[in-house]
Amino acid sequence: MDNNHDFQLPEKDEFLLYLKVQNYSLETLYNYEHDLKQFEVFMTEMGFGKIDKQVINEFKGYLVSRDRKQPITGLTAPNKLGPGSVNRCLSCLRTYFKYLIEMDKPVPLPPDAIKMVKADKKHGQVAELSELVKLIESPTSLEKNELVGLRNRAMLEVLLASGMRISELVSLNKNQIDETGRIFIKGKGRKERFVYLTPRALSWVNQYLTRRPEAVPALWVPYRGSRAGKSIRRVSPNYLQAKIKEYREKLRINVPTSAHSLRHGFATYLAESGANPAAIQVLLGHESLDTTTRYVHASDKFAEETHHKYHPVK
């Protein structure tokens, strides 16, 4: 008999409905539901009837152990969870406990009593600025179709100029860009913000729009494949990611580069030029400055130059 559903978190369905009303994305809702289910399965398998600090510590060990059953599929996971995934589960519990407090419901532990696990600080590599510039300029020389090359270059110019996410880029409509290059977007978690184009990027967007015959609202439209010719159509994120990979390989840029790398490069090189981290936080649409400071680390080259320039004992 399957007893995996014996332990039930109180107010769980109400909590998930609350998140939905707060305009959390479907992916986030799924993750919260999945993580809470994992905790319920753990409590059932271990036979715990109440939640305390020791239970939370054992849950951490449970998450990183092998032979861990997936609550949705019932299958066994061959690999342990990394610190980031463990912290996501713990953060979910914290948010759930905060909801119980807000609703004046009994709470087994203060949310802050759930401590995150230590994670190695890993900073993704970003290509040299000169290489990123070569990458965004490459479509006009590498694409055989002139209009495709113009469109793809404009897309990459916008990514590096604004630091927006690829999902935000492909969902843009023409009327979201004003004559100065300011763009009003709804980002991750439906958060609204302005991003800004450089004069160079705006020039490429205008060149593309001047050459583009279509009158559809979408800014970036496909010219081949199943999406072409439809009244409601957009370039897909997968297409652009594949093109970036193709351009990188043809240019022999050895640092792995993606649409996210252009966002990373935007933040890194703004920081290296002296931009205020709080301003970068706003431009990136980060809720926490901690996220930004982890994300916009200085490059090794910049750190070396800073050391040579400012070290007091030369």
Residue 263: active-site member: yes
Question: Rounded to an integer, what distance in angstroms lies between the CA atom of residue 210 and that of residue 172?
Answer: 17
Q: Select which of 68, 153, 286, 297 is catalytic.
A: 286
Q: Assess contact for 191 and 260: CB atoms under 8 A.
A: no
- E strand or H helix that includes residue 96: helix 83-102
Q: Select which of 263, 264, 269, 297 is catalytic.
A: 263
Residue 308: active-site member: no
Counting every residue written for the chain, the total comes to 314
Q: Select which of 20, 134, 188, 193 is catalytic.
A: 188
Instruction: List the end-to-end C-alpha distance of the chain, in Å, as a whole number.
Output: 73
Question: Rounded to an integer, what distance in angstroms lies between the CA atom of residue 140 and that of residue 185?
Answer: 27
Residue 165: active-site member: yes
Q: Assess contact for 62 and 90: CB atoms under 8 A.
A: no
DSSP class per residue in 183-240: EEEE-GGG-EEEEE--HHHHHHHHHHHHH-----SBSS--SSSTTTT-SS----HHHH
Q: Select which of 151, 165, 234, 297 is catalytic.
A: 165
> 84, 124, 82, 140: which is closest to 258 by C-alpha?
124
CA 159 centroid distance within chain: 14
What angle, rounded to 10 degrees, do the helices at 146-162 and 199-211 form? 150
Q: Select which of 32, 208, 247, 295 is catalytic.
A: 295
Question: Rounded to an integer, what distance in angstroms lies between the CA atom of residue 77 and that of residue 70?
Answer: 7
Q: How far is CA 279 from CA 201, 267, 286, in A?
A: 20, 10, 10
Q: Which residues are known to be catalytic? A: 165, 188, 260, 263, 286, 295
